[in-house]
Structure 1
Amino acid sequence: MKTTCAVLAVLATALAGPVRADDDCYVPMADWQPRGAVAKLAEDNNWTVRRIKIDDGCYEIRGQDADGRRIEVKINPQTLEIVEFELKRDDD
C-alpha cells in the first residue's frame, strides 16, 4: 500500500508539469497606482505607448521600445514592478 501511494504521488507530480512563475497580479483596486504613473514608467524607459490596458489583474503596456521593436510589458499595479516583458517579432 505504501508503494502504491508513493508511485501515485510521483505520477501526479510528473503529470502536473513544470512549475511556472505566476504572472497574474492579485492587488485590490484601492492599492493600484494611477494609469498616469504607468505612462510615466513607460516614458522613463523610453517606450512609446500604443495602449495601456488591464490583463490578469496587471497593467499591460503595448508599444515600442527605444529601438522601435514591439513590446508587451505586464506591470504590477501596486509596485509598478515589471512582471513580464515580451519583445515581439514581426511574425508574432
Structure 2
Amino acid sequence: MRKIIIALSLAAGFSGTAFAAEKCNVAMADWQPREALQAKLEGEGWKVRSIKTEDGCYEAYAINGEGKKVEAYFNPQTFQSIDMKIED
C-alpha cells in the first residue's frame, strides 16, 4: 500500500511540473516579436516596463491603462491574455 501511495504522489508531482512548464504551448516559429506585443499594449494605454519569456509565454511587467501595476502573461502567437496578477 505504501508503494502505491508513493508512486501516485510522484506521478502527481511530475505531472504538475510538466503542466506548469506548458502554460503557453506555441512553436517558436509561430511567435510574434515582443516589440509587437509592446506596441499593442502601449496602444491600449499601458506603460510597459519589461517583457520577457516565461513558461513558453510572454510575461509583461507594466502599468495597465487603469494605472495599476500588473504582471501579465500573453500567448506569443495571438497576444491573448493568459493570466494577470494585479499588484497592490
Q: Which runs of 5 or more residues in structure 1 are unaligned?
A: 1-11, 17-21
Could you say which residue in structure 2 is the equivalent of 1:24? 23
Measured in 2, the distance between the counterparts of 1:71 and 1:50 equals 10
Runs in 1 of length 4+ with deviation above 2 angstroms?
A: none
Could you say which residue in structure 2 is the equivalent of 1:59? 58
Could you say which residue in structure 2 is the equivalent of 1:81? 80
Deviation per residue, 1:9-60 (Å, 9 max, x gap): xxx8xxx7xxxxx770011110000111111121122110111001100001
Question: What is the aligned length?
Answer: 71
| Percent identical residues | 40
- What does 1:43-54 align with in structure 2 at a 5 Å threshold? 43-54=42-53
Larger radius of gyration: 1
- TM-score normalised by L of structure 1: 0.68
Measured in 2, the distance between the counterparts of 1:59 and 1:24 equals 10
Q: Which amino acid aligns with 2:82?
A: V
Could you say which residue in structure 2 is the equivalent of 1:72? 71
Q: Which runs of 5 or more residues in structure 2 are unaligned?
A: 1-7, 13-19
- TM-score normalised by L of structure 2: 0.70
Which one has the bigger helix percentage? 2
Could you say which residue in structure 2 is the equivalent of 1:4? none
Q: Which moved more, 1:64-73 or 1:46-55?
A: 64-73
